[in-house]
Amino acid sequence: MTGSFFEYIICARFVNVFYILFTRLCKAAVRRVIAIVDPDVEYAGRLAQYFNNHENGGMKAVIFSDTKKFLSKNSDYDVRILLIDETEYCGLHEGDVGGVVICLSGDGFSSVAVPSVNKYSRADLLLKNVLREYEDKAPSYLEHASAKRSRMIGVYSPAGRCGKTTFSITVSQLLGQRGRCLLIILDEFAGVFRYLAADAVGDLSDVIYAYRQGRYSWVRLSQSVCHFGSTDYIAPVRYAEDLAALSPQQMTDLLGHIKKESGYDFLILDMGSYGKHAAEITEICDEVYMPVPDDAISSYKAAEYRESLEQSGRAEMLARIKEVKLPYEERFDRALPEEEEYGYGAMYEYAGGLFPDTGESE
């Protein structure tokens, strides 16, 4: 009888300890969220969908129709940002939310004692303003968006007029259908992106400036991200001199931060006309595709580039460089292509052959 009693006590203590550990693990696994409280659930749903489909620092947007429902579920989430309609704000009390509170106002102005954003502004601008407030008000919350390293795919060629940028955009559209993809263009001139990124509110110049000031973070990166088709991208620098502001080592370090911290599945890096310094950047790429036109001069340039890698002690990189012969499509030369034109045709099919869809997460 005594033995059974002690066995019961030990078992009860074990169950209690197990419950405490299990509870702590569950809380640790709670995902960071952006909570949206708005009685217009259709608006809140569209906004949450946009946030979840774009770079937002690895947070998940969830919606609530009123403050009472939000408070009843608040403890189930790690709320980093609360976006709350100004008509619902009065239901909050100090200490209800541990994260940053931002008021959704009809005109961007409000009498409440927290930052406000215009709820009817463009979704991309609203997201950028929200993340800017988040960074300013809660620097202690800033952390890596994902422990998963992105797969960085470089595109470089020592030959000119080889279809490199068209190929980069096409690959980003293809892989963007399989996971979150970011295209970065290291070119001195915008080219086709002068047209595609005409409404961009940020570009690579802003990212470089933040890095030089020691203020780079995934939040500042996301403020320069634009969307095109199935991919995100960072528009090229505004001025060619901005690329020269970073040494090859600094650019490699910046790109390394993006690779580790951005949370994207794929990073497509169009190295533009980076010249001899491209070798340093390609070292952080998982693979590099080198378009080479089918002519003698281009072949000589490609051979010279390979020789330069060997002479600089980077011979091991040769295994990661894949020379490609891109198909020519006249339509890309006739006029500036629209978004959907990168999703079909010979170039798209060629890219599909290089990156076959295995049906699994890459």
Over residues 125-161, the pLDDT tens digits come to 888 888 878 877 665 444 444 445 789 999 999 887 8
Number of alpha carbons in the 13 Å side-chain half-sphere of residue 266: 26
Distance CA 75, CA 211 (A): 36
Report the pLDDT value the prediction gives residue 287, as an integer from 0 to 100: 95
Residue 164 has pLDDT above 80, yes or no: yes
Model confidence at 25, pLDDT cuts 50, 70, 90, reads: very low
- Measured CA to CA, the distance from residue 222 to residue 264 in angstroms comes to 11
Tokens of 308: 């330069």
**What's the angle, vertex CA 138, arms to CA 135 and CA 141, rounded to 5?**
95
Instruction: Report which secondary-structure segment, H or E, holds 184.
Output: strand 181-185
Q: Which domains does the chain have, with CATH numbers?
A: 31-141 (3.40.50.10850), 151-354 (3.40.50.300)
pLDDT recorded at residue 44: 94
d(Cα 330, Cα 332) in Å, to the nearest integer?
Answer: 5
